[in-house]
Structure 1
Amino acid sequence: MRHERQPGGQDPTPARTGAGIDRRSLLGYAAAGAAVLAVPALVGGLGAGTARAAEANGVVPDLLRGGRYPIGFWWPPPPRETTAARYAQIADAGFTFVNGGNGVVDRDLNLRMLDAAGAHRLPAVVVDSRVGDIQNHPREQWPALVKAALDDYGGHPSFAGFNIRDEPHASLFPQIGAVNDLIRRQDPTKLGYVNLFPTYASSGALGTPTYEEHLERYVAEAHPRFLSFDHYPLLGPAPALRTDYFRNFALVRRQALRSGLSYWGFILACEHLDYRLPTDAELAWQVNVSLAYGCKGIQYFTYWTPDLPSVFRQALVTVDGQLTPLYHAARRINNDHLRPLGAQLLPLTSESVTHFGEREPLPDVEPFTGDDQVASVSGDAVVLGRFHDGSRGNRRWLLVTNRSFDAPATTTLTLRGAVREVFAFDTGQEAFTRVPLRGPRDGPVLTVRLAPGDARLYRLHSDDSGVAPTTAH
């Protein structure tokens, strides 16, 4: 996505001018066809009755079934590097699924990707023009086109679905809904994958006056099985940060909860244009903020560095296939932190997200004011993500994330007297251990120490087993 700096310190908005390039044109540049490019709108849908019935019967796409926390990326190895050895590196770095593109866009190359991914138990989402370019065919041919694509890949154990489109204009939502319905009817275990714009996209790019309307219309018209969005916060030299980063999470989270959908997010992992190369701590911080806001899947932009040196400089793997220090940082974060922590959070429901210690109010960000388990917070700024499991009313899971990616945090939580026990999750042991509490029984104290960008998960036990989960907000 192309982002220009604007005068007066304003946040940039997407543009496609001069040397600029966005995610959609990036796929086109790599001969992905128009599978994820903007196309003229098609109105009307094929109906969602059967698809909704399939959902009611409990049939969900394989990638959304739970188990392993979804960790993916944009921009896989190119065709010449689509080998079992390269996909071994992907698996070794802790990724749990792959997405097509970077020239891997036709039947033969997709099958090669599925073989390479399958050798390492990696599900794969493919880019296929029969699905992504379906608008180029008469509407009555659409069911046969989707069926032909499903027949080509459906027997492969690694095939997980189709990448339908990236960052679509709202006028494309009915077309996406028609394709999603066809996939659901013909094989509801496969995912129709779509990724949405960030909040800093212009209304012209969104096709709606507001981002909120964009999300609402997408859910109503595109019939998604999940939500995915990108937002790259590390714009300019450190410690610069986009001011609407948390707002984007808040709005997508709100729409996901209202719609009963899970949602995934992208993190910046590629130096390009004015976006800096993340430090290890900045990479971990993006992961932990995503988790605190309830993301059920995290994706890296990008894995392989796109071969466009005027725009892209370095990602996890260089253009010529060298593993960079950021690859090794991602490997540590994914395997040692995100995989075990994500497995704990995956089955839970995000109940609230609050911020403590913000210097000034942020739009759509809720400041911490106390709840039924944590009375007050003091010390350094943190993001508090609270979760429940829907059954045990006396338990809450609390992810405490350092608000800073360049300084450590020491934060003290004063708990309500009803909290009798606290357990901390050890990602190394993959187990909870009891934490001794300080202070009086009617107000015990928990002190949390976090490295830059780090987070810690706690489980709080109350003596009131009759407390029901509150309405998510």
Structure 2
Amino acid sequence: MSLSLLVALPASGQKKKPEFLISIYSPPPADFLTDAQYQVLKEAHVDVIFNIGPGVASDRAGNLKTLDMARQHGLKVYAYDARINQGEEAIRAMVNDYRAHPALAGYYITDEPDSARLQSAIDLQRLVTRLDPTRDAYVNHLPDWAVNNYEQGFLTRWIEGVGKENLNYLAFDNYPYKRKQRLEKTHFNNLDIIRRLGLRYGVKTSSCLQSFGMYFSGVEELRRPNADEMRLNGFSNLAYGVKNPVWFPYWTQIRHSEVLTFSPCIIDSAGVKTDLYEPFKILNGEMKQLGKTLIRLDAREVYHTGDSLWLGTAHPPADFVWKVLDENADVILSRFTDQATDTQEYIMVVNKSFKEAKELSFRVGSSVKRVKEISKATGKPVQVPFDPKTHTLKATFLPGEGRLYSLH
């Protein structure tokens, strides 16, 4: 379901230029492994699929079929194979079965290890990376509220145990939309922990986005997000520097259980697009365009405005370069710097409300002479109505929408 390790290396073993990638869990299951379904995926700007989920064929034959289909549509695959738990000889055979396939992104190792299982996950990741250093070994980790001493103990032990040089992403899952219109109280704190660790170790970060509702014994525990909530989920992750959004899940999961059930997701269990598909497609397209710039930026500072602060958040300092003129507006402000120069600055602004559109006014620091916005349609900088005399500008934001500005 999320925390990943991606090492996107070509067959030569040399690192590729970093890419902003969008991934999904639960691809079309075995009975729907068709060109039509994979075309729908491709049209929604998906880059990578994790070949795991109910109905997905995850043995050798099933993985190879998925890899072949993905190759035809320009997608990459994380192979999941039960041999990962059957010892070194079986793992060696597994790697040999897939390593030459051009659509292989990596190997799915394990899901959400707790503290007791962490060393086993480290050992498996290191083994698979040694057997195939040109691909990723993927482990999904728990959120901060599920593990004691999460940042300084658990995740630090993970990164240093595996070796930061063997990680391309540090990722996690923490689904924000609870029942009764609540937002997970650790949502921003968890994002900031991952942001800080990514910067400390020089590892890109990845996070799961919620595309499901979940019920236990008929009681709603996670609500199915609407388009505005999906938008906030996506842009709040980008504001914290996430370089690989991973949607969970894509295909509606049918579980034969009276206890745990899922709402319809992006594609229903019959292979039909739900009302979430178009928002999913639009948001992915916008994130991909911003990702052309964001992939080379570091989120150095993240602040929140408004009357009420969430766990792990802080107001911007008085001398911050970008001021929201309405002090009551609930906004996320992130300052990014370009990794190549560390001097070129960018500001991302996110409307933190997933219920209301906002017209926001800003005052920019006196040292800034020009402001441009990175277009979500083209990925290129465009002019904005910035007044250099008053150092102000205005913009309208949809619920949950983010905008990325370059400062000159």
State the TM-score, normalizing by the size of structure 1: 0.77
Matched, 1:237 2:190: no
Correspondent of 1:455 among 390, 402, 405: 402
2:209 partner letter: I
Alignment match, 1:66: 18
Matched, 1:249 2:200: no
Matched, 1:148 2:93: yes
Correspondent of 1:215 among 155, 163, 174: 155
Correspondent of 2:238 among 272, 277, 291: 291
Alpha-carbon offset, residue 280 of structure 1: 0.7
Contact persistence 1:104–1:127 (CA under 8 A):
no
Alpha-carbon offset, residue 176 of structure 1: 2.1
Separation of aligned partners in 2, 1:164 and 1:377: 48
Cα 1:438–1:324 change in 2 (3 A) is same
Correspondent of 2:34 among 83, 86, 91: 83
- What secondary structure, in the 3-state scheme, does the structure 1 residue paired with 2:277 have? helix
Separation of aligned partners in 2, 1:221 and 1:118: 33
Alignment match, 1:93: 44
Greater C-alpha Rg: 1
Query: Aligned ranges for residues 90-239 of structure 1 at < 5 Å?
Result: 90-102=41-53, 103-131=56-84, 133-134=85-86, 137=87, 142=88, 144-201=89-146, 206=147, 208-210=148-150, 212-223=152-163, 225=167, 226-238=169-181
Q: Identity, % of aligned pairs?
A: 27
May I ask how many residue pairs the two structures share in their alignment? 388
Segments of 5+ residues of structure 1 without an aligned counterpart are: 1-22, 25-35, 37-51, 462-473
Separation of aligned partners in 1, 2:340 and 2:97: 42
1:417 partner letter: S
Segments of 5+ residues of structure 2 without an aligned counterpart are: 216-220
Separation of aligned partners in 2, 1:430 and 1:252: 26
Separation of aligned partners in 2, 1:430 and 1:261: 24
- 1:28-81 CA deviation, whole Å, 9 max, x = no partner? xxxxxxxx9xxxxxxxxxxxxxxx9x9xx9844x6xx423x2111111111111
Query: Aligned ranges for residues 247-396 of structure 1 at < 5 Å?
Result: 247-273=189-215, 274-308=221-255, 310=258, 311-335=261-285, 337-357=286-306, 359-371=307-319, 373-374=321-322, 377-379=325-327, 380-392=329-341, 394-396=343-345
Which structure has the higher relative contact order (CA within 8 Å, separation 6+)?
Answer: 2
1:76 partner letter: P
- What secondary structure, in the 3-state scheme, does the structure 1 residue paired with 2:242 have? coil
Separation of aligned partners in 2, 1:333 and 1:66: 21
Separation of aligned partners in 1, 2:152 and 2:222: 25
Alignment match, 2:218: none
Separation of aligned partners in 1, 2:131 and 2:78: 17
Alignment match, 1:33: none
Contact persistence 1:370–1:376 (CA under 8 A):
no
Contact persistence 2:292–2:379 (CA under 8 A):
no
State the TM-score, normalizing by the size of structure 2: 0.88
Cα 1:393–1:74 change in 2 (3 A) is closer
Cα 1:189–1:58 change in 2 (3 A) is closer
2:118 partner letter: F
- What secondary structure, in the 3-state scheme, does the structure 1 residue paired with 2:377 have? coil
Alpha-carbon offset, residue 120 of structure 1: 0.7
Separation of aligned partners in 1, 2:332 and 2:149: 30
Separation of aligned partners in 2, 1:265 and 1:334: 14
- 1:201-242 CA deviation, whole Å, 9 max, x = no partner? 2xxxx3x4545422222212244512111111110133x211
Alignment match, 1:11: none
Alpha-carbon offset, residue 248 of structure 1: 0.7
- What secondary structure, in the 3-state scheme, does the structure 2 residue paired with 1:424 have? strand
